[in-house]
């Protein structure tokens, strides 16, 4: 699986139903929403994408859309380990509305999602095989029940040496992540869409470069990283010798 998401949705009702009614987002309305959510940040217009391709934008970029009754932002900023610790200004914007957070990263098999009603967190889950269950608040939602009941167990990991290793969690977070995305937002990022799914490719989002003015300048960070790499000594490579000692490769 290669699924990655960083998605936050605000809605006046059922998110999937509302997203089925939208298309290209209006630029002025979307930009106004971005300025409300990123108060004090530097925001610059950039190229847009559809929801299917923009759900995991590059660092420092966001894709967003605002329509009557529903708004959404795709941004790595919302990929927090603890959904309950989502920035206060993002939660405050959910007053009187439903808010859904969906974040996952396939490299580490991490999933986090949260649901708020009128600014109150009613369900939060964050887990990965390395960290276990990081946060578990509220009652499981219907789509979760087969996983907790043991009906969607993760496959055993099979290694080349023949040893089998059980997965570190009772189910695979990315499998639950796709079901969570479908249940909460009406779409998926991997697998075969159902006929009733939201067509994420038909939802046009506007792109923005977003920068916290109090954060280090990206160009300065890049220059410092390049300088640090340039000051490093040449890499040293070792191999394991017959007596189990390490031998520097250039000494062979």
**Contact present, 9 and 65 (Cβ < 8 Å):** no
Query: Which segment of 50-59, 150-159, 198-207, 217-226 scores lowest on mean pLDDT?
Result: 217-226
25 DSSP 8-state letter? P
1 pLDDT band (50/70/90 cuts)? very low
In angstroms, the first-to-last Cα distance of the chain is 41
For the chain, which residues make up each domain, given as ranges?
A: 4-251
Q: Does the pLDDT value for residue 161 go beyond 60?
A: no
Helix (H) or strand (E) holding 111: strand 110-117
Mean pLDDT to the nearest integer, 220-243: 71
- The percentage of the chain sitting over the pLDDT mark of 70, rounded to a whole number, equals 87
Q: Which residue has the higher pLDDT, 213 or 66?
A: 66
213 pLDDT band (50/70/90 cuts)? confident
CA 231 and chain centroid, separation = 34
Q: How many CB atoms lie within 10 A of CB 25?
A: 23
Mean pLDDT to the nearest integer, 30-49: 95
4: helix, coil or strand? strand
What span, in angstroms and rounded, lies between the C-alpha atoms of 227 and 229? 5
pLDDT at 192: 86
Q: Which residue has the tokens 């937002």?
A: 185
**Contact present, 113 and 184 (Cβ < 8 Å):** yes
- The per-residue pLDDT for range 86-130, each reduced to its tens digit, is 999 999 999 999 999 999 999 999 999 999 999 999 999 999 999
What span, in angstroms and rounded, lies between the C-alpha atoms of 176 and 157? 18
Q: Which residue has the higher pLDDT, 1 or 157?
A: 157
- The per-residue pLDDT for range 130-146, each reduced to its tens digit, is 999 999 999 999 999 99
């Amino acid at each position: 699986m290669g699924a990655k998401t960083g998605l936050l949705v605000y809605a006046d009702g059922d998110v999937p139903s509302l997203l089925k009614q939208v298309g290209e987002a209006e630029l002025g309305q979307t930009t106004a929403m971005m300025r409300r959510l990123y108060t004090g940040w530097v925001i610059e217009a950039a190229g847009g994408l559809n929801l299917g391709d923009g759900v995991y934008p590059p660092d420092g970029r966001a894709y967003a859309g605002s329509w009557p009754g529903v708004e959404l932002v795709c941004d790595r900023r919302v990929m927090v380990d603890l959904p309950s610790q989502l920035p206060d200004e993002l939660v405050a914007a959910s007053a009187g509305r439903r808010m859904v957070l969906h974040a996952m990263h396939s490299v580490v098999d991490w999933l986090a999602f949260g649901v708020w009603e009128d600014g109150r967190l009613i369900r939060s889950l964050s887990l990965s095989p390395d960290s276990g269950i990081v946060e578990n608040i509220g009652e499981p939602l219907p789509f979760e029940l087969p996983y907790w009941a043991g009906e969607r167990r993760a496959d055993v990991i099979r290694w080349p040496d023949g040893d089998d290793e059980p997965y570190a969690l009772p189910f695979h977070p990315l499998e639950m992540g796709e079901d969570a995305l479908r249940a909460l937002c009406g779409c998926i990022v991997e697998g075969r869409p159902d006929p009733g799914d939201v067509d994420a490719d038909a939802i046009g989002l506007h792109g923005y470069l977003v920068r916290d003015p109090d954060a280090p300048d990206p160009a300065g960070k890049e220059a410092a990283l390049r300088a640090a790499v340039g000051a490093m000594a040449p890499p040293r490579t070792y191999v394991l010798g017959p007596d189990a000692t390490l031998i520097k490769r250039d000494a062979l």
